[in-house]
Amino acid sequence: MQTHKRISLSLLLTYAILIAGAIVVVYPFAYMVANSLKTGREIMHAPRALLPEEPTLRGYKGVFEELNVLLLFRNTLIVAVAVTLENVLLSALAGYAFAKIPFPGRDKIFGFMLLTMMIPGVLFLIPTYVLMYNIGWVGRFEALIIPGAVSVFNIFLVRQFITGIPDELIEAARIDGARETTIFRRIILPLVRPALGTVAILTFMGSWNDFMGPLLYLNRPDRWTLQLGLLQFRGTVPGENAEQIWALTTLITLPILLMYFFIQEQFVKAFANVSLSK
Amino acid sequence: MQLPASVHSPPPTSSRLLHRVRQYWWGYVFVSPWILLYLVFGLYPLVLSFFLTFFNYSFVTPGDRTFVGLGNWIRGIEDPLFWKSLYNIILNQAVFILLKNGLGLLLAALLFRVTIGARIFRTIYFLPVITSTVVLMTVGDNLAGPGGAVQLWLMDIGVLSKPVFWKAYDTLPMIIIAIINTWKWFGISTVILLAGMYGIDPRLFEAAAVDGASGLQIFRNITIPMLRPQLFFLLVVDVINGLQMFGEILSIGFNVYGGIKNQALTPVLYLYAQAFDQANVGYASTLGLMLAVIIAVLTFLQFKFVPSRLD
């Protein structure tokens, strides 16, 4: 009786802390959405209220009419969709080769590839910009779409997944005279779909949320992405464009949040994989 | 001493190698996109970055490139702003790594205990992780700023007597940014450590409980040591990523010099300012190399001295 009571008390405390944590995490999102529905005056004077006194969509209207956000959506999508498609296809091909095609030198190349992951990204920042500048890609989508076409991490993720497919399946097809491209299309692609889903989600999210790439290479108003545009619109005066800023932060965040809620299990697993695989 | 040739395993003859190359040549085709991209956008910039450190060079006038030898390195070592930026980021990361992983560990331990609702909490804790830095820093800036919700509450309960303009302080910016970043990233630590806890043999906990160990003792003597691989991984990745922090500072509203007193200047921000505000491309490249060396040394030291494996 005594222990039972103590256990339930500690369980109560556990839930209390977990719920407090959840509130701290969710509150800023609620704050963001609530403020996006307020008038500029209310944002300044009652920032904490989670229920707008006079709800308005002025911020959202302003975002589209004054800030031309459709163009920003378009730019963001061009890069994100291109990079996602490239990564899905190229990491599937390379992942298959590294897992199941025993070409000479394969393990050496694979080892080298993993090694490149250890190099801090800061080393590439300036020289890559010099390169882009010299080939005239600064201010062009190519600067993000071409170098971002395939990532080591995605190749690794798909390769680990394909390694689990039984060799017999592939060997049998090879003995039957099937070409590698056929094996890839008929056997590998259908089986590897879950891993490619993870690659697609992570790549799309990474590109959508990317800030440094667009800052370096798409830093002109007609090429701004959503993240870069948000920063530019914030201006220097506190409260400037307040209505539009809150509407824009909500609009930027919503697509990713929706994606997350539909497939959150894959999201979390993908991130957990990052740690377990290294 | 000469051994008969047959003792050695026969080396793959060139014809056999050629045969395998011919048989599996699609393998090269399939990995070639990555190899090509890495040659152009990986290896070439890497070589270029070493090359650039020996020159004064600007985008505006690429013609007058002047050789300065080790001048950029000496300048970097003597540059008080570089060391200031390094001090800032180390302060920031010390606070961030402790808070984020401490909080992650606490919440993982609590989630490990509950069966009902664990998934919902995990889902919620992961929300900031998937949200963009610019958005979160915009919101964080507003919440933490003078007149923002957090300061209003702290005044309500009497912790603060008047609004604090923390961005103008010397050390407060890096600490407050570390707290906002903790809020963004603790979900990763929680998920990774929770996965680690599920991987521990439950018989260990049972045996300890039978021996009369308290919950806290079990946590300290079993859970923590068993989580060493996960904690080590988090530390290594946090140091590598954290020292390269950049977007957060601009997103929260500082200029490329991290404020008038450089109170929020980070190394990567500083090299960005050198390259794009002052057009010192060679010097910026050198700063990048200096930071990479520091990161490499710290990573090496962690591998050498931090226990990473189970006993």
Q: Which member of A25, A228, A249 has the closest CB to residue B124? A: A25
The residue ranking higher by pLDDT, A141 or B113, is A141
pLDDT digit string, tens, across residues A145-204:
999 999 999 999 999 989 988 999 899 999 998 899 999 999 999 999 988 988 998 899
Per-state percent for chain A, helix, strand, coil, to nearest 5: 75, 0, 25
**For the ranges A3-17, B3-17, B20-34, the one whose mean pLDDT is highest:** B20-34
Does A8 contact B at CB distance below 8 Å?
no
Residues A35-40 have a mean pLDDT of 90
Q: What whole-number distance in Å separates Cα of residue B98 and Cα of residue B87?
A: 17
Q: Examine the pLDDT at B5 and tell me if it is beyond 60.
A: no
The residue ranking higher by pLDDT, A221 or B310, is A221
Residues B198-207 have a mean pLDDT of 91
Does B8 contact A at CB distance below 8 Å?
no
Q: Examine the pLDDT at A235 and tell me if it is beyond 70.
A: no
CA-angle at B137, arms to B275 and B250, nearest 5°: 15
3-state secondary structure A56-112: CCHHHHHHHHCCCHHHHHHHHHHHHHHHHHHHHHHHHHHHHHHHHCCCCCHHHHHHH
pLDDT for res A236: 58
Asked if A205's CB is within 8 angstroms of B285's CB, the reply is no
Chain B residue numbers touching A154 (CB-CB < 8 A): none
The confidence band for A4, taking pLDDT boundaries of 50, 70 and 90, is low
Where, residue-wise, is CATH 1.10.3720.10 in chain B?
Answer: 74-305
The confidence band for A272, taking pLDDT boundaries of 50, 70 and 90, is low
- Which residue reads 């806290």 in tokens? B216
- The residue extents of the domains of chain A are 2-56, 65-277
Does B16 contact A at CB distance below 8 Å?
no
Q: What whole-number distance in Å separates Cα of residue A243 and Cα of residue B222?
A: 52
The confidence band for A6, taking pLDDT boundaries of 50, 70 and 90, is low
Please tell me which residue of chain B has the smallest CA distance to A271: B188
Q: Among residues B118, B219, B188, B191, which one has the least CA distance to residue A18?
A: B118
The residue ranking higher by pLDDT, B108 or B11, is B108
Backbone angles phi, psi at B135, to 5 degrees: -65, -50
Asked if B195's CB is within 8 angstroms of A276's CB, the reply is yes
pLDDT for res B214: 86
Q: Examine the pLDDT at B245 and tell me if it is beyond 80.
A: yes
CA-angle at B134, arms to A209 and B247, nearest 5°: 95
Burial group, residue A165, by CB count within 10 angstroms (0-12, 13-18, 19+): middle
Does A124 contact B at CB distance below 8 Å?
yes
Q: Among residues B117, B242, A271, which one has the least CA distance to residue B107?
A: B117
Please tell me which residue of chain A has the smallest CA distance to B134: A227
Q: Which member of B126, B140, B152 has the closest CB to residue A268? A: B126
Asked if A103's CB is within 8 angstroms of B25's CB, the reply is yes
Q: Examine the pLDDT at B3 and tell me if it is beyond 50.
A: no
pLDDT for res B310: 67
Domain B74-305 fold is MetI-like fold (1.10.3720)
Contacts of B74 (CB under 8 A, 6+ apart): none
Is the separation of the CB atoms in A149 and A158 below 8 Å?
Answer: no
For domain A65-277, is the CATH number 2.40.50.180?
no
pLDDT for res A53: 87
Helix (H, G, I), strand (E, B) or coil at B56: strand
Q: What whole-number distance in Å separates Cα of residue A243 and Cα of residue A249?
A: 10
Partners of residue B67 on adjacent β-strands:
B55
- Tokens representing A206 are 């990474």
The confidence band for A9, taking pLDDT boundaries of 50, 70 and 90, is confident
pLDDT for res A278: 37
- Tokens representing A36 are 């996006």
pLDDT digit string, tens, across residues B164-200:
999 999 999 999 999 999 999 999 999 999 989 998 9
pLDDT digit string, tens, across residues B109-149:
999 989 888 889 998 999 999 999 999 999 999 999 988 89
Q: Examine the pLDDT at B16 and tell me if it is beyond 90.
A: no
Q: Which member of A179, A209, A261 has the closest CB to residue B133? A: A209
pLDDT for res A237: 59
